[in-house]
Structure 1
Amino acid sequence: MLIILGLILMIVIVLVGGDRGAMSLIALAGNILCLSLAIWLYAVGAPVFLVTAGAGILISCITLFYQNGTNIKTWSAFLAVAITMCVLFAFIYLVVWKSGAGGLNEIQAAGEDVFYYNMNLDISMPKVATAVIVLSTLGAVIDMALTVTTSVYEVKCHKPDIKMNKLVQSGMKIGKDVIGTTVNTLLFAYLGESLLLFAYLRMQNYSIELLLNSKILFQNCISMIFGAISCTMIMPVSAVLIAKNCELFDWMENSK
């Protein structure tokens, strides 16, 4: 069934998207390969943060440069993603370390299957949890960055004489219009995949206090929350970078 659904997805993307759709499929395959390689490197004991940084850079390059070409929009988006994720990286690790969010949650630890596996893994669970959060938020961050840079670039093309501060304001306004739908997407993606879990917790008579203080809820919510934070933070970064790059490009063109 998975193969059939995958073939249907590929056919629909190619029929609707044409050449760009085919490029999206190739980029998707490349990103899956990068994630698979990162998981394998984690398993063999490679440095978690180094692998995460490398995988993030590769995924960003494939998504931005292969799908959308090498231009001022994609370079601005790439730099915005790099700056935002570097700032958040330490903060995410601090939150994971302080909260003890790494490792198995209550339900996973209580499951019967856990006794059949060797749990003496030589891997830092807080580092792995940090890597999971960073990589899971990367897609939404790249999407927000490219949305802002593309929109600001189009404004600059239609109004070549517009001032830099007006460009930044345009980018922020566009980002504010999009951030609501992005946060909703993250929220419903989490809720959709957790409906069965919530039903199970309700059947086990979990109290609200126990649920709010549970590790399982924190693990499931933290990616959504950091995704929303990173998407909000990247708006001004993307707007300023694309405005600066447009101004620099104009200066280089005028100085020729």
Structure 2
Amino acid sequence: MIIFLALVLFFLMIIIGGDRGAVSIMALAGNIIILFFSVILMSAGFPALFLILAAGAGVCYNSLFYQNGNNAKTRSAFLATLFVMLILFIPIYFITWRAGSYGLNELQISEDDFMYYYNTDISINMLHVAVLVSVFNTLGAVIDTALSVTSSVYEVWTHKNSLTEKELTSSGYQVGKEIIGTTVNTLLFAYFGGSILLFSYVQTQKYDLEIILNSRFLFQDVAIMLSGAIACLVTVPVSIKCIIWQIRHIGLEENKSEIL
């Protein structure tokens, strides 16, 4: 059934998306390969924190440049995404460490499959794994936000390149306000949609509110959702600064060519 659904997805991407759909499939395959080798290297004892940065940069580069080409919009989105990930890496690591939310949660440990069939001692730093999961869960939303903002500001500038930096910044924030609400809602419903069964289980077991709020299983998912929302919000001003810097660079190159 998984193969059937994957084939349906690829078929629709090619029929509806055409050439761009085929390119998107190749980019998706590249990202899966990057994640696959990241898991292999992490299992082999490779430093997980270095893998987070290297694999994140690889996924970001593949998603942006392979699908959209090397231009001012993608370069700005790439720089903005890397900068946001570097900014949020330290607080994500610190919060995950302080909360002790890494590793298997209470519900996973209580399952019979884990108790009797699987060995939970996998000799991997679970804190680093939790940080890797948090970063990669926010990466897709950050890339989308960054590219939307940089593309919009760049298109505004190409149609009216007499706009000042303040006016371009204002147009970028206007676009950011339009997309940030839907992005946060997407993250919210992605979490709740995947956790309906979990909440139903918690409800039937009649757990106290204090136990639920202090539980690891709740914190893991909510922290990822909130980290993604915060990352998208931070991405808007960073993307605006990056694309304006690129526009300035393009303007300087054009002035030099005119002089020559």
Common fold, TM-score beyond 0.5? yes
Instruction: Render the CA deviation track for 1:161-216: whole Å, top value 9, x for unaligned.
Output: 11111111111110111000000000001111111111111111112221111110
Partners of 2:73 and 2:66 in 1: CA distance: 13
Partners of 2:198 and 2:181 in 1: CA distance: 26
Match of residue 36 from structure 2: 36
Match of residue 91 from structure 2: 91
Matches within 5 A, 1:4-15: 4-15=4-15
Match of residue 226 from structure 1: 227
Match of residue 176 from structure 1: 177
Partners of 1:119 and 1:205 in 2: CA distance: 28
Partners of 1:200 and 1:81 in 2: CA distance: 37
Corresponding pairs, count: 256
Which ranges in structure 2 are unaligned for 5 or more consecutive residues? none
Partners of 1:234 and 1:52 in 2: CA distance: 19
| Secondary structure, counterpart of 2:120 in structure 1 | coil
Is the CA contact 1:73–1:242 (under 8 Å) kept in the aligned structure 2? yes
Q: TM-score, normalised by structure 2?
A: 0.96
Match of residue 146 from structure 2: 145
Partners of 2:148 and 2:7 in 1: CA distance: 29
Is the CA contact 1:89–1:134 (under 8 Å) kept in the aligned structure 2? yes
Is the CA contact 1:164–1:247 (under 8 Å) kept in the aligned structure 2? no
Match of residue 16 from structure 1: 16
Instruction: Render the CA deviation track for 1:10-66: whole Å, top value 9, x for unaligned.
Output: 111101000000001111111111111111111111100111111111101110000
Partners of 1:111 and 1:11 in 2: CA distance: 38
Match of residue 3 from structure 2: 3
Which residue identity is paired with 1:185?
A: T
Partners of 1:70 and 1:118 in 2: CA distance: 46
| Secondary structure, counterpart of 1:141 in structure 2 | helix
Partners of 2:253 and 2:230 in 1: CA distance: 35
Percent identity over paired residues: 47
Which residue identity is paired with 1:16?
A: I
Which ranges in structure 1 are unaligned for 5 or more consecutive residues? none
| Greater CA drift, 204-213 or 72-81 | 204-213
Which residue identity is paired with 2:38?
A: A
Which residue identity is paired with 2:211?
A: L
Instruction: Render the CA deviation track for 1:85-112: whole Å, top value 9, x for unaligned.
Output: 0010011000000000101111112222
Aligned-residue offset at 1:113: 2.0
Match of residue 78 from structure 1: 78
Partners of 1:9 and 1:121 in 2: CA distance: 34
Instruction: Render the CA deviation track for 1:110-150: whole Å, top value 9, x for unaligned.
Output: 22222332222321111110011001110000000000000
Match of residue 165 from structure 2: 164
Which residue identity is paired with 2:132?
A: A
Match of residue 256 from structure 2: 255
Which residue identity is paired with 1:166?
A: E
Which residue identity is paired with 1:122?
A: S
Q: TM-score, normalised by structure 1?
A: 0.98
The CA RMSD measured in Å over matched residues stands at: 0.9
Which residue identity is paired with 1:138?
A: L
Partners of 1:238 and 1:123 in 2: CA distance: 35
| Greater CA drift, 205-214 or 191-200 | 205-214
Is the CA contact 1:190–1:224 (under 8 Å) kept in the aligned structure 2? yes
| Secondary structure, counterpart of 2:121 in structure 1 | coil
Is the CA contact 1:103–1:126 (under 8 Å) kept in the aligned structure 2? yes
Which residue identity is paired with 2:206?
A: N
| Secondary structure, counterpart of 1:45 in structure 2 | coil
Partners of 1:240 and 1:191 in 2: CA distance: 33
Partners of 2:68 and 2:152 in 1: CA distance: 14
> In the alignment, does 2:237 pair up with 1:236?
yes
Partners of 1:251 and 1:166 in 2: CA distance: 19
